[in-house]
Structures are given as C-alpha cells and as structure tokens.
Chain A
Amino acid sequence: MAEASALLFAYCETPVHAGTGRAVGTVDLPIQRERITGFPIAQASSVKGVLRATTQANGADAERHRALFGPDRPEEASTHAGALQVTDLQVVLFPVRSLAGVFAWTTSPAVLARLVRLAKLAGIEGPVDPTRFAGLQPGQCAVANGSALLTPAGQQVGVVLEEYSFTLAGELAGLVSALAEWLVALALPQTPEYAWWRENLAKHLCVLPDDEFRDFVLYATEIEAHVRLKDETKTVEPGALWTTETLPAETLLVGLLATTRSRYDKVNEDGRALLGWLTGKLDGRRVRLGGDETTGRGAVVLRVARV
C-alpha cells in the first residue's frame, strides 16, 4: 500500500520518440499508445528507467536510491523490491497548429477526468470538475476569454485547428481559465525561460470534445522522414528511408509516483521521506525520455506536484 504519492509532469521541449520499435502501419517507427483510447503514452518501465538513471547518487543517498528503485545488480534482484511505483505517462496537453495564435494546447473532458483521478490519488484537488464540460458538442470547443486562438469572421467567431474549424461553446471560458491557472501553478516549469509559457497557457488552451481530441493525437503527431546517405555518393542507401513518429514539442504528460515504506534493510524510512528525497532530485530537472536522444529528441522538464 502506497504511503505517499505525487503527480509527475513531463513537459516536452523537443519532439519525444517513446517508440514501440516496429509497426505494420504507415509509419515505420510509431510511438507508444494506449490500446483502448489510442492516446499517446510513455510506458512506466521507460519512465522508471529514466528516473533511476537521473537520480543515481553516492553515499547515504545511494542506499536511499536502492531502497526506492531496487538493487542495481541482477544477482541481488531477489533480495528486496523497490519502494517506488511509477505509472505510464499520459497526455494532458497536445499542441495542434492553429490559424490564429500559431498553436493551441488541446485537451478533452476524458483527459481531464483522468487527470483529476490521478490528482486525487496524490491527494491534490483537481483543476476542474470534468463533468462540467459534458455539454461540449461535436464541432465545438472551449477557450478562455481573450484567447489568442479566436478567428473572427463577420458576426461569427471560431477556432481553426489544422484545417478543422470549431465554434465556441458558451459559458465555459471561466472553467478554461481555472484549468490554465492550475496547470501553470502545478505542471509548467517555474524557471525564468518559461515565463512566456506561463503567461500564455490560458490564451492558447482549448478544450475539445473527446472524439476530436483523439483524432488530433492519432493523426496530427509529428512524422519525420529520415534517409541514410552514402558518404561517397550522397545518394540514399538502399532501403534506408524510414519515417519516425514523435510527440511534438510542447506536449504535456502526467503520471503518478507512489512510494511505500523502504523494504531495504539498510534504509529505515517511510514512503513520505523517500518521496520527499526523490522530489528534491526530480523537481525542475531536465531529463531525456525515449529514443533518438543523440539527434536531439526526448528533452523533457519534470515537475513533481505533491501535498
């Protein structure tokens, strides 16, 4: 039973390729997705590996690290389990190109419902009551007052994402502002270089109906084409043309960290203390998640939100 838990946010600063390695679809190297919803995820095992590598430590901290993640050496693997539980990271905000305002951070009632559920597990009050978005009809979206995404046309106002247009659902603007405020406080990095992001999240935030949101996360991810050239001839090597799918930069992911009491006999600490130590190591940290790291993919900033 978990003694303490916290939300782990990961903000993508470059495209992130948390891949599956193979596929039978049109993209050669697709990203990991949830089977049921088709929403992008980063698998818990990848995330835990990144956290483990990031927090390697010496001295007393090395023992704490072992208590959290389990023994390093395979031959000791059966001595005790780690105290840390990590979930898959799921998508909270997904950037989509917008006719006005360059791009929109999109989300949906189902995504928010799951965020609220995760937050509750961490003892944090969720941003908004997702059932209040229930009135969102297909073809509608909700944005905050003064949104940068608004496209006026005569009497009407709409939002155009990629080539699809949405009309505004009335009376939800306040809710979107509240959501933006919550995310700015808990999820976005607090460093100075994120000032623009914190100020502009509300203006670019857009809540879409679940179906429309799913279409964007399925069909509006970034697809990068790659070739390998022969140095001598500068022509493509036979068979060396492939496509890679990535989560675009500006995507926000969330997961849950939970800790139990240490099971390692050299560390006698409860889950709260262990999580506190881990939070100190992770909050605000830049790490690399997923594949293609050496070509600049997978840079994310972590934030840990806990009560």
Chain B
Amino acid sequence: MRERPRPDQPRGNGRPPQRGEARPRSGGRSGPPRDRDRSAEHADGERGRPHPLLPSATRMLWNSVRNQVANPGLLFDRFAPEAAVFGDRTEATPRRDFLREVIAAAERLAKDALAEQILVRWEATVRAAGAEPCSVELESRLVSGLGAHGPLEIGFRFDRLGFPVLPGSGLKGVARAYAHLVERRNESDPDFLAVFGRVPRSGEAHEVGQAGALVFFDAYPEPGWRLELDVMTPHYPDYYSGKEPPTPWQNPKPITFLAVAPGTRYRLAIGLRQGVSDPDGRLRQLALGWLRNGLAQLGFGAKTTSGYGVFRNRE
C-alpha cells in the first residue's frame, strides 16, 4: 500500500495544519497521485521535534513522568506529539501510539482513589436534588465530543479531571427526542412541557417560555470503565473533501480515535429544579423512563447510525 497523503506544510510557520490541503496538485489535473517530494522528512519518519509547541522545561518534565500521568484529558488536549497530528504511516504509527498513551492514562485515573470518591460525592449531590440514581450499561462503544477542537481533529469529551462523562445537556436531548419521536409527545402535552420546559419561538411573547422542572445531571462512569482505540477508514478522502469523484485510486485513510468501551456502566440521575415539587416522584420516573428508553433505542453521542452509543435497557 502506498503511503497515504498528508498535510505537507513546512514546520514552524505558526499555522495549524489544514484539513483538505493534503497534497500539492500538479496543474490542477485530477488523477492518480504522484510520488511526493520526501526531502522534508527525517530519516526516522518523525518530522521535526516531537512537541515543537511545548515549552522546553515542560517537555523535559513531561518526558520523565509520561508513564505516570493520570489525567487523560490533559494528555489528549495538550501533549499530542507533532507526528500524531499528521497521522500514521506504514512505517510509524505515532497517532495510534499516542492514543494508547491516553488510554493508559485513563486506566490509571480509573484506578485512582479519586475515581471512587468523585462518584460518592456525585451521589450526594444528586440525592440532595431529589434524584434516585440508577445505572445503565453500555452495549456498544460510545463516542462523544468528536467535534471538539483539538490537535488530532477528532475530539473526545473529557471533563476537567479526565472522566468521560455524559453531559446533562445531551442526556436531556436524548430523553426529549425519545418522548417526541417514539411517544409522539410535544409541547401541548402537560408532562412533556413540565419536564423539558419551553423556549418562546420567534414572534411569541416572552411569557410563554418556562424552565423545565427537572435537572438532568452529568452521568459519571462507574469503577471499571475503560477507553478503547477505534478506527474509521474513509475510502474516498478526496471525494469527501469535494475535490474528486470517488475514484478507485484514492488511498483508504485509516483514522484512529478514542471510544468508551462496551460494558462501561454509567450512573444516571434526574433531580428537581430548585423550588419545584414532585411529591410522588411521578415526573422524575417518567423522565427517567424516557431517558433509559432513549439511550437504548436512539443511542447517545456521535455515530449512532453506525451502532455507537447504545445502552442496555435494564439495571
């Protein structure tokens, strides 16, 4: 297999690598790629220093502790080596190696005392809001935050401490989509309106708006959670960037990314907004049912049409 095209800018010009400027075009003619000029590359396949943007003191400290880091989010956002940004090749796999490092950091965090303690506190927080937390188990891989900005182009959603949380806004959206699409409810249904609230549409009076009565808390992974390496391989990269028809001479382009492993269990909680009462818990039960069914039938996060983000609908 020929080496796949990749960004070919000179180093140190201060610009981030651009997607879709893969290879210099010869005379604007489309056709099979020619052999590229390899003079800019180093003999070892690494181009430039491993971390050209890190301050040198940081680089030194980083090298001495890189096998002990326990914040995968920090690693992922700030410590990608330059070679990982440009992706893998036949003879070197810096991107895959780096993502494996992130996965190892996640393993260390999952074993840290903090992982257990944060869940204990989460439990106290949500119970104070009147929530009765429950667990759901991930059946397939889950990817969230793919569009987040980052050096590797494909993002991943970590919270500040590095946990792969499911954001409350996303959970609320899944529950709402389930109630709407499957149970055919809408804002004329009093329960739907109470749970999700309502934003005034353009032209409507401000007064018709109302906040939802319930709080969808971020879901935290239970001890034993893991991240995995995953890959997607577009076979016609130039077609997707709008430059060529899907011609057979384009190189398939394997792109590695992070995913939460199947079998990971998440704690879910739906509480009450301050000042709202739901004495028999009916609204919370209803919303939790929507959420659990939504997670099982619609899925959470990205790539749900490829089977990602599906949960089992039982404890």
Q: Is the CB of A151 within 8 A of B61?
A: yes
Q: Which of B123, B160, B161, B304 sits near A193, CB closer than 8 Å? A: B123
Given A151-B61, A163-B58, A297-B168, CB of A194 within 8 Å of CB of B160: no
**A249 proximal to B (CB < 8 A):** yes
Residue B85 lies at the interface, judged by CB distance under 8 Å to chain A: no
- B78 part of interface (Cβ distance < 8 Å): yes
Question: Residue of B at shortest CB range from A139?
Answer: B57
* Cβ of A216 to closest chain B Cβ, rounded Å: 12
Residues of A within 8 A of B97 (CB): none
The answer to whether A97 and B147 touch (CB under 8 A), given A196-B113, A296-B215, is no
For A226, the closest partner residue in chain B by CB is: B169
**One of B13-21, B23-31, B114-122 at the interface:** B114-122
Nearest B-chain residue to A244, judged by Cβ: B169
**A234 contacts across to B, CB distance below 8 A:** 304
Q: Is A193 within 8 A of B216, CB to CB?
A: no
What sequence of 0s and 1s flags, for each residue 230-255 of chain A, a beta carbon within 8 Å of any chain B beta carbon?
A: 01101000000000000011100000
- Does any Cβ of A come within 8 Å of B63's Cβ? yes
Q: Chain A: which residue is nearest B78 at the CB level?
A: A163
Residues on the A chain within 8 Å of B211, using CB: 293-294
A165→B65 contact, CB < 8 A = no
Q: Which residues of B contact A156 (CB under 8 A)?
A: 60-61
Could you tell me if B71 and A98 are in contact, using CB atoms closer than 8 angstroms?
yes
Interface size class of A (residues with CB under 8 A): 35 or more
Are B55 and A164 closer than 8 Å at their CB atoms? yes
**Residue interface mask A173-207, B partner, CB < 8 A = 1:** 00000000000000000010111110000000000
CB distance from A90 to the nearest CB of B (A): 20
Q: Would you list which residues of chain B between 263 and 287 have a CB under 8 Å from chain A?
A: 273-275
Query: For the complex, is A160 an interface residue (Cβ under 8 Å from B)?
Result: yes
- Chain A CB within 8 A of B62 CB: yes
Q: A249-B159, A287-B274 are in contact. Are A293 and B61 (CB under 8 A)?
A: no
**A295 within 8 A of partner (CB):** yes
Our pick among B57, B121, B159, B275 for the contact of A13 (Cβ within 8 Å) is B121
- CB within 8 Å of B: which residues of A? 13-14, 53-54, 95, 97-103, 151-154, 156, 158, 160, 162-165, 167, 191, 193-197, 222, 224-226, 228-229, 231-232, 234, 248-250, 286-288, 292-297, 299
* 19 residue pairs bridging A and B, Cβ less than 8 Å apart: A14-B217, A53-B275, A54-B274, A97-B71, A100-B65, A102-B114, A151-B64, A156-B60, A160-B61, A160-B62, A191-B124, A193-B117, A224-B169, A231-B181, A234-B304, A287-B274, A288-B215, A294-B211, A296-B218
Residues on B close to A: CB < 8 A?
A: 53-55, 57-58, 60-65, 68-71, 73-74, 78-79, 109, 112-114, 117, 120-125, 128-129, 147-148, 159-162, 167-169, 172-173, 176-177, 180-181, 197, 211-212, 214-218, 273-275, 304
